[in-house]
Structure 1
């Protein structure tokens, strides 16, 4: 057949947008062949697997096949049907069958030339990818639709794929290096819905750093070509400048080494980058970048960078960076950074120097030096300044403020804010619970004649702040903080049980070793109106004071009939029962 162009296969197939083309060979088939020629066997396999085969029938064994397969992978079916001496190249929904290359096989150069047009209109198609399916050498058609690709034959056989975004692919398998120009007519695709994988890839390719690092030619090939090649190793200095060439965004690797920056389809193993690693789909294993890592798919393993990790699809494992981590959808494991962590959902831990932000569910530990923000928290939120959540089932603790919708557990901070507390308590100086308990009391007791008290939290656990003074004599003032619980016996009658610690000082001086008055009081109350009540009850005082003359003088002004009194060289104490009476406003 010397001097003649032989089209062994010329067919069109719809692009099905497979995220990982190897899945086509992994699908399970159940077939039975009884003395069937190989060609017919391949037809039956094609029908059940919903794929097309491209092959040279002259290279297949001349035999009939008798075999039975139950839930067997397509790759294994092919090996047992035609033998193990063939390779399978997956391109979209078609599979190219070719003999395994012999190390001693003969290579010869070839120029594949022609033009690409729209099959319906005849219009020339510019920027169409034309590539050798074996070595991935490629070119783009010009504005007039013309193309020229220099490559080589392997034992006088090769195959070319012609691909363009929004068109059906064409595969041409030829024998003979003396070929005439080939006019390719591509059929337009019907409009299809945007898939999640396609959306992710478009997002990654739209990032400024990717647009800066990846040249126009590589971007066009990536948009056009529906295939994924898997290679064990790639080495690059920059995207396109490396062993994967302009097709890097369509090639997955087991080991990826990027001297400065890399741009690949995926990694199953290890990826190291001096500055930046960019992978359009999944990374499984270990990824480290001097400045950053960007992964469009999921990251399952460890991801380390000096500045930023960006993974909009989330993942599982450990994500560590110097400045920011971003994991969309769901991340399971540890996010640790010097500044900010961001995720939609977290199962594990988020630890940062400044802030953590989880849009939806935070299951585990969220710890930061400044601010935590989350949707629903099941676990612990710990911050130096502020915690925020729509719901907390666990513990929310901060150095200053906690904010939540529904609380089932504990809020611990200076200021706690919640809509409701279904179980647990808010423990702080001030607890503002919308569906909780708040009151303002004006009272008198046996130490100070005029007192103002504020209670906040829930009825089963609240905190109280008090300030008291003796206004007539202008001699004593007090200030205290405590906790309490209220029991409602009827709609009108209630009882408070409270513990507090109070500092008592004279008006005209400050006692260095401040006297402390520890109080346990029981308030018996009656509600006059919905917003007002009166209460009164006994107060047990334990007063501890130093032996300084000012403290000794102060101690004589109250507690004149102690139940217990102790005097020492430096410390004194006494116990007595006093009283309190108050008007409470709600």
Structure 2
């Protein structure tokens, strides 16, 4: 009888113990004693807020399933936190504890586990079995079975069947079973093997806070193309839970030293020969083609083609083609083509083509073609265009266009600037557009609360001119077309451009100063070599709200007329220029100005 018993032990192992239990029930926070008063009427959010203050816990859940504004009625309670949550939320919810986090999951379904232990040879143990719906007895496919301590994992097939190779024997292992919408189950297995029992270091684990609300990585182009359906299912089953490991080496996302559970592990050092998919990095990650992290990356990440991070990045991210971060970015991000960040950026982005940030940028964006962000507090430099919804205190530099849908600091563009409100200055080769901009510099400035006027004036050289002034409340530009009143002159027409400033603007009086340069044209609009520069002071008296009259003295410098014989060096004259020599002289202009 004894020999028979020993053989049975060798065949089936010494002890098989199966038990289903909730992971969080043995945890410190969920087991903590609490005392909560009765609430005749309150909300789930208020209860969570009270528990956070009392127990120093953070609640994570899917807001589409459990809403914090749901009204509940509770009686006074004295007991542990797990039982209280179970009472107010009901049996269809389950609770896990990871650090300070209490993860609340909607798990209306229950599962059962039937398993056996196989020993094909003395160095290998295989745990095999079936997972079924406890209520319907139907098999459950795509359930995750994993050994957290040994970093082993697999999925059930369409018949609910699984096999898990236990490569590293131990006297006791816990096989965990997870499936979305099902309450987690654990299988405790004790092996009759010779093993030294000691204080084995417990494997560290963590939780990604944003998991319940954000599965963006798997829905994105990167997830659809480079991750297998099995990896997506694994992530959904295990939720935001991940484990830590010192290192990993992979050829592809499915071929790794961590095997199938690779995508749920955070590594300190990771090498992906072609590409890899991990939970995250706290250290260094190198990829020949690509690196994909479900959650966060802290440290240095280098990919030959691209890096994709589902969480946030703190450190340096370098890619030959592109970087895509679904959370926040703090540090340096460089790519040969494109950088994209779904949250905020604090640091520097450099891209050969473009940078795109859905949130706020605090720092510097440099791109060969474009930069785009919701809010910028720093500097944007682009070869073509900078775009921002709001950029207070920011300088935008672009060869063609800067555009801010709200407030901006300063803008410099080769062609055009556009903003709602400009706190600094605008400098454009052609046009500035804004609702409010006191210091625009460009050929044309269309400022809603600024200067727009037409004037007709006669100057000391007998030219009748039509002048257009456009700009802000302080600086404005001048464009003028002039025609000589004397029909026998070679310089029949003149074109003038300049910059002016409003010094005083009162109800009945205004004072301006302008600097302008004038180029002369023949009757056939051929350009002449001689030109003139002027400094004018323009006192204007307002005849009405829109009409003013002005007389403006000026100091002028004019080059001699084309094809005339020079009479010597530059001369000073009190009135009008000398056409045979370069001349400094006094002049004036008088006319009417109409505010547009």
Range into which the TM-score falls when normalised by the shorter chain: 0.7 to 0.9
CA contact (8 A) 2:147 2:173 kept: yes
The correspondence for 1:355, drawn from 326, 347, 370, is 370
Between the aligned partners of 1:10 and 1:272, the Cα distance in structure 2 is: 42
Pair 1:524-2:543 in alignment = no
Pair 1:221–1:493, CA change in 2 (3 A): closer
Between the aligned partners of 1:196 and 1:152, the Cα distance in structure 2 is: 33
Between the aligned partners of 2:230 and 2:470, the Cα distance in structure 1 is: 66
CA contact (8 A) 2:560 2:579 kept: no
Pair 1:331–1:259, CA change in 2 (3 A): same
Report how far residue 549 of structure 1 moved. Answer: 3.2
The correspondence for 1:205, drawn from 214, 218, 222, is 218
The correspondence for 2:515, drawn from 485, 495, 499, is 499
Pair 1:455–1:551, CA change in 2 (3 A): farther
Q: Deviations over 1:229-252 (max 9, x none)?
A: 211111111011111211111011
Give the stretch that moved more between structures: 212-221 or 243-252: 212-221
Between the aligned partners of 2:56 and 2:550, the Cα distance in structure 1 is: 85
Pair 1:258–1:153, CA change in 2 (3 A): closer
Report how far residue 417 of structure 1 moved. Answer: 0.4
Pair 1:214-2:204 in alignment = no
Report how far residue 472 of structure 1 moved. Answer: 5.7
Between the aligned partners of 1:216 and 1:508, the Cα distance in structure 2 is: 75
The correspondence for 2:378, drawn from 354, 364, 373, is 364
For residue 223 of structure 2, give the secondary structure of its aligned residue in structure 1. helix
Between the aligned partners of 2:225 and 2:561, the Cα distance in structure 1 is: 77
Pair 1:212–1:447, CA change in 2 (3 A): same
Pair 1:152–1:445, CA change in 2 (3 A): closer
Residue of structure 2 equivalent to 1:346: 361
Q: Structure 1 length normalisation: TM-score?
A: 0.75
Pair 1:576-2:553 in alignment = no
Q: Deviations over 1:222-276 (max 9, x none)?
A: 2222431211111111011111211111011111101111111000110111111
Between the aligned partners of 1:515 and 1:213, the Cα distance in structure 2 is: 66
Report how far residue 172 of structure 1 moved. Answer: 1.5
Pair 1:453–1:116, CA change in 2 (3 A): same
Residue of structure 1 equivalent to 2:83: none
Pair 1:474–1:234, CA change in 2 (3 A): farther
Residue of structure 1 equivalent to 2:21: 12
Q: Deviations over 1:266-308 (max 9, x none)?
A: 0011011111110011100000101100001111111001111
Report how far residue 145 of structure 1 moved. Answer: 2.1
Pair 1:400–1:12, CA change in 2 (3 A): same
Between the aligned partners of 1:358 and 1:474, the Cα distance in structure 2 is: 59
Between the aligned partners of 1:474 and 1:256, the Cα distance in structure 2 is: 85
Pair 1:560–1:451, CA change in 2 (3 A): farther
The correspondence for 1:244, drawn from 233, 258, 265, is 258
Pair 1:118-2:133 in alignment = yes
Pair 1:109–1:513, CA change in 2 (3 A): same
CA contact (8 A) 1:498 1:521 kept: yes
Pair 1:434-2:448 in alignment = yes
Residue of structure 1 equivalent to 2:411: 396
Report how far residue 551 of structure 1 moved. Answer: 8.1
Between the aligned partners of 1:153 and 1:263, the Cα distance in structure 2 is: 23
Map 1:176-325 → 2, pairs under 5 A:
176=191, 196-200=210-214, 202-226=215-239, 227-325=241-339
Residue of structure 1 equivalent to 2:160: 145
CA contact (8 A) 2:474 2:503 kept: yes
Residue of structure 1 equivalent to 2:202: none
Give 5+ residue unaligned stretches, structure 2. Answer: 34-54, 58-96, 104-120, 194-207
Give 5+ residue unaligned stretches, structure 1. Answer: 17-23, 31-47, 51-88, 95-105, 179-193, 554-558
The correspondence for 2:400, drawn from 376, 385, 396, is 385
Residue of structure 2 equivalent to 1:544: 558
Pair 1:576–1:131, CA change in 2 (3 A): closer
The correspondence for 2:574, drawn from 562, 565, 586, is 562
Q: Deviations over 1:531-559 (max 9, x none)?
A: 3x131213324232147534879xxxxx9
Between the aligned partners of 2:185 and 2:18, the Cα distance in structure 1 is: 10
Between the aligned partners of 1:473 and 1:483, the Cα distance in structure 2 is: 29
Pair 1:406-2:418 in alignment = no
Pair 1:114–1:206, CA change in 2 (3 A): same
Pair 1:560–1:408, CA change in 2 (3 A): closer
Between the aligned partners of 2:595 and 2:483, the Cα distance in structure 1 is: 20
Pair 1:564–1:138, CA change in 2 (3 A): closer
Give the stretch that moved more between structures: 324-333 or 210-219: 210-219
Report how far residue 316 of structure 1 moved. Answer: 0.7
CA contact (8 A) 2:528 2:562 kept: no
For residue 512 of structure 2, give the secondary structure of its aligned residue in structure 1. strand
Residue of structure 2 equivalent to 1:482: 498
Q: Deviations over 1:193-244 (max 9, x none)?
A: x9732443x2111233433333333332222224312111111110111112
Pair 1:268–1:10, CA change in 2 (3 A): same
CA contact (8 A) 2:519 2:527 kept: no
Between the aligned partners of 1:579 and 1:155, the Cα distance in structure 2 is: 100
Residue of structure 1 equivalent to 2:150: 135
Report how far residue 109 of structure 1 moved. Answer: 2.8
CA contact (8 A) 1:107 1:152 kept: no
CA contact (8 A) 1:453 1:466 kept: yes
Q: Deviations over 1:143-165 (max 9, x none)?
A: 23233333256343322111111
Between the aligned partners of 1:341 and 1:434, the Cα distance in structure 2 is: 31
Superposed CA RMSD in Å reads 3.7
Between the aligned partners of 1:322 and 1:152, the Cα distance in structure 2 is: 42
Residue of structure 2 equivalent to 1:514: 530
Between the aligned partners of 1:205 and 1:322, the Cα distance in structure 2 is: 24
Pair 1:419–1:228, CA change in 2 (3 A): same
For residue 212 of structure 1, give the secondary structure of its aligned residue in structure 2. helix
Between the aligned partners of 1:290 and 1:354, the Cα distance in structure 2 is: 22
